[in-house]
Amino acid sequence: MTGVWAVVPVKELAGAKQRLSSCLNPDERRALATVMLEDVLDAVSAVRELAGMVVVTVDPVVTSLAGRYGARVVTEAAQEGHTGAVAAAQRLLAREGQAGMMTMPGDIPRLSSAEIAATLAAHRAAPAFTIVPAHDDLGSNTIICSPPDAVPLRFGEDSFYPHLDAARGRGIEPLVVRQPGIGMDIDHPVDLVAFLKMSPPVPTRTFAFLQQSGVAGRLGESGCSISATPPR
Residue 223: the pLDDT is 52
In contact, 231 and 159? CB cutoff 8 Å: no
The secondary element (H helix, E strand) that includes residue 56 is strand 50-56
- Residues of the chain with pLDDT > 90, as a percent, come to 86
Going by their DSSP bridges, the two strands 128-133 and 140-146 should be labelled as: antiparallel
Indicate the helix (H) or strand (E) that contains 147. none
pLDDT tens-digit readout, 45-68:
999 999 999 999 999 999 999 999
pLDDT at 224: 65
Average pLDDT of every residue of the chain:
93
Distance in angstroms (rounded) separating the CA atoms of residues 162 and 108? 21
Quick one: pLDDT at residue 219?
84
C-alpha 129/C-alpha 227 separation (Å) is 33
Residue 192 to residue 21: CA distance in whole angstroms: 12
pLDDT at 230 over 60: no
Report pLDDT digits (tens) over 183-220.
999 999 999 999 999 887 788 999 999 999 999 988 87
Question: Is pLDDT larger for residue 114 or for residue 222?
Answer: 114
**R_g over Cα of the chain:** 17
Query: How many Cβ atoms sit within 10 Å of the Cβ of residue 125?
Result: 7
58 vs 157, higher pLDDT: 58
pLDDT of residue 227: 46
* Residue 1 pLDDT > 60: no
Say if domain 4-13+25-183 classifies as CATH 3.90.550.10.
yes
